[in-house]
Structure formats: structure tokens, C-alpha cells
A and B are shown apart, each in its own frame.
Chain A
């Protein structure tokens, strides 16, 4: 097991502390292991970005925290929210915690909104459910919340229905509902993926403002490296159900250690890159679907630097030799060390 990231549980600076979280599903084709021994921590007021391609387990991991996975999921490990264990908690306890202590926003706002209720009612209902506010008081709070998330002329919009709003405004309503009870942790799962970029910029600003104003910790899940660069303080890269790299955002982009992270960065088009003169790096192959996680690096089959060691033993998530205590961790036997390509060509 990887141990470096788990300080003692008594440390209260971590709002959310996930340890050894694994999720597997029973499916028609057999068992699928979706998340494997993930360790993760989220500090107060921190925005942690979880990045990875589809099938890497990032959404499954986030849904597992508040018991949102279907019955076919088998979840093990620990997830402590402010010291209290979420995994294995009773459904009634989880229902109380969801919305009040941990809230979710998803890619498609309409899945979280009721089409036949006004947005004001819906925001109000969250407050009434968790804080026993009166109807009138809830409405006033709803307008305040709509102002908070930057919905213009909130006192008029409070009585409109979701379908009368644009996608960006709907997502703002969903955010207002999510932060209504001042949750400690907000899980945002691809919240801007369905939106246009000019609208996305506004939503990202709202989330940043919430963190700055209310101190909300945010777990921000996305496949978009540009969005990660924009909003995250720290980044966790997932691949095939495992955390392969974890670093402060600037370090990750400047100095990606894991070969997968480096590959992803090389694969994305960037300003001043042009097909006429430059070439995007491709990562051959596919993210594997695994029935059990092997004692090996799951990226080895796609990695140009893989050695025999990579195929026979799982690399621990550790700091680089020079700075083992640092906060830049990677699970790679042959990390990409900036400047010189250690171990790169000779096998």
C-alpha cells in the first residue's frame, strides 16, 4: 500500500481524507475494478483538481464518497469528512450529510433540477430540508444565494422555471442549491463540460469566489487540462483507477513526473502549436478495463519507458528521491525528471 499521503486522522486541517478507497462493480462480463486504493486529502478552502480520461475512475471515486453508487458497486476503504467516516454509514446519516456537509454538482444541470418547480422553490427546499427555515425566509435566502452565484436580477428570476434559463444560468442555480447549506466540501463533476467557453469562464469564477468567500473546499473533476490549470490549487492525476501523480498545479504542469501525465500534456494542443511545424504526441493504446488491479504499473503497456520492473511490481506514490517529503508525488518507476531523461532510453 502507499502510505506517504496519509497523516494521522487526528489532523483536522484536512476537511476530507480518503484512504485506501477501492470500488469494484459486478457486471455482465464479470467484475470490473474501477478504483484501486486511492488516497486523497482535501484541505479547508482548497481546490483539488482530479484529472484523467474517461474510464480512469475519477467520477466513480467521487460518487463513492457520499454513497451515490448503485448497489452493484462494492466499496472498501475509508473516507472521513471532518473526522467522521462516510463509507459504510447508514443511508439516513448519509442523506443528512449530503447537501449539508458535502454537495455535488454534475455536468448536466437539468438532471439536478425539477422542471415543474420554480428555481426559487428548489433552492428553498434544500434550505427547508436541512435548516427548517420558513417558506418566506427560504425565499429570501434563495434570492441571496442567486445573487451570490452571479445570477443577474435574481429577485425576478427566483420565480422562473429551469427551462426558461440558459445552460449557464441553470448551472449557477445548481451551484446555489449545492452551497445553500454551506457545505464543507463541494464535489464538482465536469460542471462546465456541457457549457460554452464564454459561459464556462463565468462558472469557474463563481466557484473560485465561493472558495474565497465561504472557504468551501472543492473537489473539481474534469478531463480538461486547461480548466484544471485555471482553477485547481493542487492536481491529482488518475489513470485506470489509481492515483498516478499528485502535485501543486504549477509543479504538475512545469514538471510532470509520471509518464502518463507528461503524455497527456504533450497530447493537448496549446497556443503556438501548429500542425505545420509541431506535432501532438500520441499515447498509443487504450485505458485498460481491469477485473482486478495487478501488482504492476497499469500504464506500462502504453509507456515507452516501461521496464520489466514496471510489469511485475506496482510503483508506490512517492516523492522524488531528492525531496521525498515534498508534496509532489508520482507512482512511476522511471519518473520523468525535468532536464535530464533519466532511465529513458536504456532499458
Chain B
């Protein structure tokens, strides 16, 4: 029911990531509350949401920085939830992570080369120092940095260079799955472009699967194969990139897309963004029924009482009482405003 079959999942392939009914509660705060997602090998799925949506918490559960309250996380078909750190370390299917703040994710007291080589020292195989340093040089080359960077400290590098170092570090253990948590949000536009290009190139060349966690819709539209939209700890819509951007089904997705400014004044003048109230409900006391009903212009009686299930819409699923199997029925804007496929 909730587990989403992806359009690209080919026959018999074990998905890179399978999350089922994940719940992560911090006391009364239900940061993630019943989250399921399947990420096929080699695919890039964007996990989109605003602050408090729980997207970062999902990522942290997948890389086991957090012990989920309930639910399962399978990487390469193996349930990681109950493995020890040592078992994870020696597991074939490796998960890496790139963090938002390129300054905070690099140890200021370590040389860049040692930072990149660190994951190699955790794995099963014991590499000699010279082998490690060769791998570091190769990895630096792959992210477009010179070998001499290995002998610098993180604070001697620019923001973009640091994020390249983070990516090199994440990829050196040949992961099958990369969790990228807002990897470009702290960077300037021109630098952002180079990091997005790099991620796209590497993902195409190496073929790892990637869960790209972000609030930046333009980066999502540039990179993602599939998009999952989260609101207050749950997925409200999950569909392939072209379809979700062309005809978002869930009212929240529509509002999100309408609110994201586009770098084109002509487009901006034409648009009339749906203004949602600023009052986001607290995740410790989520609204009854549909969690979006307090801000949804279309909400009616049923929305306040009954939780909408994920319904099949073209290409994927959406959780709205109004949405029809063809993806219509829940439009916030007039038909002329929407881009059709």
C-alpha cells in the first residue's frame, strides 16, 4: 500500500534503499510518523520539504545516526536497523553522507587527505598508507581538485572546495547509496552550480543511488529522477520529476511550487502564488485527519477527521481526499495556470 513502486525499478533488482513505516519520535515530537520509500539502484530521489517536515530526520535514520522509534530501513536488501556499528562497517552495501555545512563536516585539525581517507580505515580491507594516498589522489581528481589539496586544512579551502572534499570522502568507500543533506544550501549560486553539476556527473558515471534532501526546488528539478514531498513527518506526494513539476497533485505540493520564486520576472508577474498561513502546526501536536488541512484552502469536513491514504496518481502517489486517479480534482489554481505534460 504505502511502499511506492518506482517507475524505474527493473526486474529482480534489489532496491538500494527500502524504508518501511519509519517512525522517529523525540518525546512528544513526532518528527517522522509513518514514512515509506523505495529507492531503486542508481536513481536519484529528492526528498523535499520545509523546516519541520522531518526530511533531515529521515536521512539521519537511514545512516543510523538516529535509532528509529519503529519501522525498518533496508539498504541493499539488508535490514540495518538492528545491526551493530561494526556489522554495518563490514557490510557490503555502504551508505555515505554529505552534509549541509561544508565547514562543520570537516575536522579542522585534520589534513584534507586524512579526512578523505578516513572511511578507508573503517572498512574490512586494510590498505597500506601509500595505497590509501593513491586512492585519495584519485578521488580528489574525480571531484575536480588537485592532489596538493590533500596537504591542506579545511579552513584553507573555499566553501565549494570543501563541499567537493566532502563528496570525495563520501565516495571513496564506493557506496551504493549516498545521502546528501542540503549539500548546496550553504553555497553561493555560482558555486552551487558547480556542485550540482558534479553530483549529476558522478551519479551518472558511478551509478550510485542518491537520496537528495533539500528545500531547494530548483535544484530538485535539475537533478532528481523522482521527487518525494514531505509535510509534518509524512510523504504527501511522490512522483517522477517531470510529472510532479508539470502537474502537482497534492495541494501542498502545488503551494510549494507556486511559492518558490523563479528567476524570471515575466514568469513572476504572471504567477499568483497561493499564500498559505505562516502558522505551521507543531509536530508535537499534529492536526487530526489530514495534517495539511489547517493551511489548505480546499479543506472540507472529511479532511479534519480522516487521514487521507496515498492514492495512485499518474506516475506515483498523493495523499489527498480530493485527488482523482488522473491526478486532478485538487487544483488550487485555475487550469490555465498549470503546466500540463
Contacts and interface: CB of A to CB of B under 8 A. Distances in A.
Contact of B263 (A168, A250, A265): A265
B218 A53 contact: no
A286 B218 contact: no
A223 B189 contact: yes
Contact residues on B (Cβ < 8 Å of other chain), bracket = 35 or more
Nearest to B216: A269
Nearest to A260: B190
A53 B159 CA distance: 12
Contact of A267 (B190, B217, B259, B276): B190
Residue of A250, A275, A280 with highest tally of chain B CB at under 10 A: A275
B268 interface: yes
A151 to B, nearest CB: 8
A54 to B, nearest CB: 6
Interface in A217-271: 223-230, 249-250, 253, 263-265, 267-271
A68 interface: no
A283 interface: yes
Contacts, number: 135
B200 interface: yes
Interface in A191-240: 196-202, 204-205, 223-230
A166 B280 contact: yes
Nearest to B255: A198
B241 interface: yes
Contacts of A200: 259, 261
Contacts of B223: 275
B263 A196 contact: no
B278 A205 contact: no
Contacts of B245: 271
Given A166-B278, A273-B222, A280-B197, A268 B189 contact: yes
A202 B275 contact: yes
A230 B268 contact: yes
Contact of A202 (B200, B264, B266, B276): B276
A279 B259 CA distance: 25
B277 interface: yes
A75 B215 CA distance: 38
A291 interface: no
B273 A201 contact: yes
A230 B259 CA distance: 10
12 contacts: A152-B279, A196-B215, A198-B256, A198-B276, A199-B50, A200-B261, A201-B275, A269-B218, A269-B219, A269-B221, A270-B262, A273-B221
Interface of A: 53-54, 152, 166-169, 172, 196-202, 204-205, 223-230, 249-250, 253, 263-265, 267-275, 278-283, 286-287
Given A167-B51, A229-B268, A286-B158, 8 more contacts: A196-B50, A198-B50, A201-B276, A202-B276, A253-B265, A253-B266, A271-B221, A281-B193
